[in-house]
Amino acid sequence: MGTGTSRPPGSPLQAPTGSEPVPILLDGLRTSTAATPRVREFKAHGLQPVGFMRCCGRSLAGWTIGLAWALYVLGEAQAVCADTGGWAEARALGPFVFRSEFPLGDVQPLLEELGLLQADLVETLRIPPAAERIEVYLFREKGTYNQFLARHFPKVGYRRALYVKDGGPGLVLAYRNPEFGNDLRHECTHALLHAVLPVVPLWLDEGMAKYFEVPQAKRAYGHPYLGAVQWTVRLRGLPPIEDLEKKSGVSDMGNPEYRAAWAWVHFLLHGSPEGRGELVRFFADLRLGNPAGTFSTRLRERIPAVDGYVSTHFRAWKPRPEPQVGRAGDGARPAGLLLWQ
């Protein structure tokens, strides 16, 4: 804790710092018509930490520097939280700076899960930890959340939770409701990915967020989408990735598309070591600025009959008892504690 720059509820959020107009990016909602807004967003960062981190990820030495930078960000975030700025509580945990209308102790296990989420993304996708602060605003109820949105994002249609990126730190906004945990894990997945990647294809962005939005113990066998996807596979098969790659905005993504995006991610992470390897390489190319091409092309070069493998994967995927996963603090997941010190 140190001197703070936190803002009181209702005060303006950070303005874009780039010299060009910077699009406000929401979870699937974009106020810009730019063809590649997330690339423009990265350029708008200039020499800010996300660019530095991107360069550092090229080598083992770079990873070491990246870790040092992440720890630096942690210290910076702790300083930011010195002043609650009118919120009931403010706290820095890893890359996250939480500001809440209610005591954060009420949702302590969920906050600890978010630390594990960062560790799981690093481990699963071989991406570095977030190298920039992610500000998370938590509201006690829908009413105060809506008031905040009306004041700061008046042109945004109602959504139960939001991820916003406008050239400064990524912002996550959510209010307490029965789906609060899923909302927060979903939006924080977007924020953690975009903290280290300049661009993520929409379908893959949403597929990842859907995969990681449930508690860790439910990701493989307990996701609500699993049953519907298995029926879809039996009846007509999943849509090919190429169909999902054509979706350019959230208006193109209905429930079937979200389910299909989740299903492809599930297959890549659980059904095919080759597919998982290609996914890791794809993310690495995105992060390093290498020509990445389309993921579907890369995947078919590696697994020509991939659609058949996807069907086989879900036909054979049987429910299993949920694994007993330790929470931060019980010593079961030491890697997840790294950014929480």
| Cβ-based nearer residue to Zn ion, 127 or 208 | 208
| Cβ-based nearer residue to Zn ion, 27 or 120 | 27
Q: Does 204 bind Zn ion (CB under 5 A)?
A: no
Only one of the segments 23-31, 71-79, 113-121, 230-238 lies at the binding site for Zn ion (rule: CB under 5 A); that segment is 23-31
- Burial pattern 70-98, b for ≥16 Cβ within 10 A else e, equals beebbeebbbbbebebebebbbbbbbbbb
Least Å distance, CB 161 to Zn ion, is 9
Least Å distance, CB 6 to Zn ion, is 26
# of chain residues touching Zn ion (CB under 5 A): 3
Only one of the segments 31-39, 119-127, 200-208, 305-313 lies at the binding site for Zn ion (rule: CB under 5 A); that segment is 200-208
Q: Give yes or no for a contact between 295 and 241, defined as CB atoms under 8 angstroms apart.
A: yes
| Cβ-based nearer residue to Zn ion, 101 or 213 | 213
Beta bridge partners of 99: 90, 137
Q: Give yes or no for a contact between 14 and 48, defined as CB atoms under 8 angstroms apart.
A: no
Q: Can you read off the two tokens belonging to residue 66? A: 């990246």
Q: Give yes or no for a contact between 53 and 69, defined as CB atoms under 8 angstroms apart.
A: yes
| Cβ-based nearer residue to Zn ion, 113 or 183 | 183
Q: Give yes or no for a contact between 209 and 219, defined as CB atoms under 8 angstroms apart.
A: no
Only one of the segments 11-19, 148-156, 206-214, 290-298 lies at the binding site for Zn ion (rule: CB under 5 A); that segment is 206-214
| Cβ-based nearer residue to Zn ion, 206 or 278 | 206
List the one residue from 27, 120, 135, 278 that touches Zn ion (CB under 5 A). Answer: 27
Only one of the segments 60-68, 153-161, 201-209, 234-242 lies at the binding site for Zn ion (rule: CB under 5 A); that segment is 201-209
Beta bridge partners of 174: 138, 161
| Cβ-based nearer residue to Zn ion, 27 or 135 | 27
Least Å distance, CB 189 to Zn ion, is 8
Least Å distance, CB 187 to Zn ion, is 7
| Cβ-based nearer residue to Zn ion, 119 or 209 | 209
Distance CA 174, CA 100 (A): 10
The strand pair at 170-175 and 161-164 is best described as antiparallel
Only one of the segments 25-33, 47-55, 76-84, 276-284 lies at the binding site for Zn ion (rule: CB under 5 A); that segment is 25-33
Distance CA 72, CA 339 (A): 10
| Cβ-based nearer residue to Zn ion, 26 or 90 | 26
For residue 122, the number of C-alpha atoms closer than 13 Å in the C-beta half-sphere is 20
Alpha-carbon distances of 85 from 132, 145, 162, 178, 340, rounded to whole Å: 21, 17, 22, 27, 23
Q: Does 209 bind Zn ion (CB under 5 A)?
A: yes
Least Å distance, CB 250 to Zn ion, is 8
Contact positions toward Zn ion, by CB under 5 A?
A: 27, 206, 209
